[in-house]
Amino acid sequence: MTILKRRNIREAAIQFLYLADLEDGPEAAEMEQAFWQMIQESSLNKLNLAKSKAILHVAQGRGSRTLKFEQLASAIQPELKASPAAHALHTSLKQLFAQENKLSAQIDTLQSIIQNKSSKPIPDIAIKEVIEVNHDLMQARSTWTEKSSNHPDWTVKLEALNATIAHLARSSQRLASIEDPESTIVDFAHLRASSAELSTFRRETQKLVCQILEHKEKIDADLAKVIENYAPERVDPVDRAILRLASYELQMSDDIPRAVTINEAIEIAKKFGTSDSSRFINGILDAL
């Protein structure tokens, strides 16, 4: 992990510890979701906008392709319906038709949100619904392919329809790649990387916070040995959060050099604390 990312994780952990330790404030578990919405709001908004634009980019030309699909499907449906042996094909194509329309509707909704000139961020749910409907559509196409392969007598009549379905399927694969971490499609690798980075940042920060809270009593006991008349409530809340994090690293984390922990704590104190914070924290950590 780079120094910058580690510093960002430590700063976020200190902010969480500060907010979770305020008098009459919520418990740590209760404030977790709201905290991360606040901390990552800007990054998530930018990522959602980029994902939305990627979805609309992939969807370019989809209207003409779905129209062709609908025309071919509508033309073949009466024949399928009239054939008892093709009942499964008729049902499968009907479901596929419905899913194609559902995806088109979700994409149209997302486009309307983007075209709206308000400054409101794009909601997660708008993107999630496109991705989920696309997933269901891919499943419906898979079912259709399986069913149609069991009816070789219909191969010629379904040739044009299946070509159109295959064309739409390629667009669906690109849509799915926007959020699929296992995808090998490179077009949107930067979006997947950004999503993974945000998730990792949150996971690693929360892991650090949980470890500090788990050992808070011991950490405070160690601080009491070097701070005269120590009581947590008598120390500035920001300084208290910094001291607890740094003390945890000094006492219980062997993979970070002592000098690095102290220097970073001093720098964070200069950024978040009072004019006296860095000097106070330096003296306490030196004595631990």
Q: Is the pTM of this model over 0.85?
A: no
Instruction: Please report whether residue 73 resides in a domain.
Output: yes
Which stretch of 14-23, 45-54, 98-107, 266-275 has the lowest confidence by average pLDDT? 14-23
∠ CA 162-168-169, rounded to 5°: 85
pLDDT for 32 equals 84
Q: Which residue has the tokens 């062997």?
A: 254
Q: What is the domain count for the chain? A: 2
pLDDT for 26 equals 60
DSSP designation for 123 = P
**Is residue 102 located within the same domain as residue 227?**
no
Measure CA 52 to chain center. Answer: 14
Instruction: Please report whether residue 8 resides in a domain.
Output: yes
Which stretch of 3-17, 97-111, 123-137 has the lowest confidence by average pLDDT? 3-17
**Is residue 122 located within the same domain as residue 152?**
yes
> What number of other Cβ atoms are within 10 A of residue 210's Cβ?
13
**Is residue 147 located within the same domain as residue 67?**
yes
pLDDT in tens, 39-90: 888 999 999 999 999 999 999 999 999 999 999 999 999 999 999 999 999 9
**Residue where a domain terminates, one of 154, 179, 204:** 179
DSSP designation for 27 = P
With beta carbons less than 8 A apart as the criterion, state whether 173 and 71 touch.
no
Instruction: Please report whether residue 36 resides in a domain.
Output: no
**Is residue 55 located within the same domain as residue 21?**
no
Predicted confidence (pLDDT) at residue 240 exceeds the cutoff of 60: yes
168 vs 31, which has greater pLDDT?
168
Predicted confidence (pLDDT) at residue 25 exceeds the cutoff of 60: no
Residue 248 is part of a domain; what is its CATH number?
1.10.940.10
**Residue where a domain terminates, one of 179, 199, 234:** 179
Average pLDDT, integer, range 244-250: 94
pLDDT in tens, 153-194: 999 999 999 999 999 999 999 999 999 999 999 999 999 999
∠ CA 156-162-168, rounded to 5°: 165
Instruction: Please report whether residue 223 resides in a domain.
Output: yes
Range of the domain at 110: 44-179
**Is residue 174 located within the same domain as residue 69?**
yes
**Is residue 75 located within the same domain as residue 169?**
yes
Which residues lie closer than 8 Å to 26 by C-beta, 6 or more apart? 20
**Is residue 175 located within the same domain as residue 236?**
no
Percentage of the chain lying above the pLDDT 90 cut: 73
- Average model confidence (pLDDT) across the chain: 91
**Is residue 48 located within the same domain as residue 172?**
yes
pLDDT for 1 equals 47
Phi and psi torsions of 44, nearest 5° = -65, -40
Average pLDDT, integer, range 259-280: 92
143 vs 19, which has greater pLDDT?
143
